[in-house]
Amino acid sequence: MNEKKRILFVCLGNIVRSPLAENMFRHLAEQAGAGERYEVDSAGTAAYHIGEAPDARMRQVAAERGLVYSGKARQFQADDFERFDLILPMDASNKAEILRLADGQAAHARVRLLREFDPQGSPDEPVPDPYYGGLDGFHEVYNIVARATRRLFEALERGEA
């Protein structure tokens, strides 16, 4: 892989699921000595939290497992199709919102649900949004995102994604 692979993770507000996936993928790539081969970002389909830091509960769960991160929420834009090679929404609703802005088949081909890479999930299954629940939901999301991002990273390194 000579050129950087550009990856965008997308959820609703860009404060829980997608920043976790962004930072987890970045961490995996850096740990494998492959950080320079990837450009990673995250965005939300809604404008609810633009400029806000990631959800404190998700950061707490991640920090308990050794992943510390920060960032600021932003909204998905149509020009993200030009900037990123692979766009990974967390659920079918986010995927539909993204594809609504897509211009042509090339843009559609860049969009795949993150759970397609989860060895314990089905390809069309969502990464659940734990925002309105307790910490158990955040732990569940962490586990799902950890499995899926690891498998995604491995597939990309093998040239399969």
At 2 the pLDDT is 62
Beta strands 5-11 and 86-89, pairing class:
parallel
Written in H, E and C, the secondary structure of the chain is CCCCEEEEEEECCCCCHHHHHHHHHHHHHHHCCCHHHEEEEEEECCCCCCCCCCCHHHHHHHHHCCCCCCCCCCECCCCHHHHCCEEEECCHHHHHHHHHCCCCHHHHHCECCHHHHCCCCCCCCCCCCCCCCCHHHHHHHHHHHHHHHHHHHHHHHCCCC
At 1 the pLDDT is 46
Inter-residue contact 115 to 126 (CB < 8 Å): yes
Tokens representing 68 are 């510390």
pTM over the 0.75 mark: yes
- Provide the residue ranges of all domains of the chain, joining segments of one domain with +: 5-157
pLDDT in tens, the chain (161 residues): 468 999 999 999 999 999 999 999 999 999 999 999 999 999 999 999 999 999 999 999 999 999 999 999 999 999 999 999 999 999 999 999 999 999 888 889 999 999 999 999 999 999 999 999 999 999 999 999 999 999 999 999 999 98
Second CATH level (architecture) for the domain 5-157:
3-Layer(aba) Sandwich (3.40)
Give catalytic residues, as residue numbers: 11, 17, 129
Written in H, E and C, the secondary structure of 67-87 is CCCCCCCCECCCCHHHHCCEE
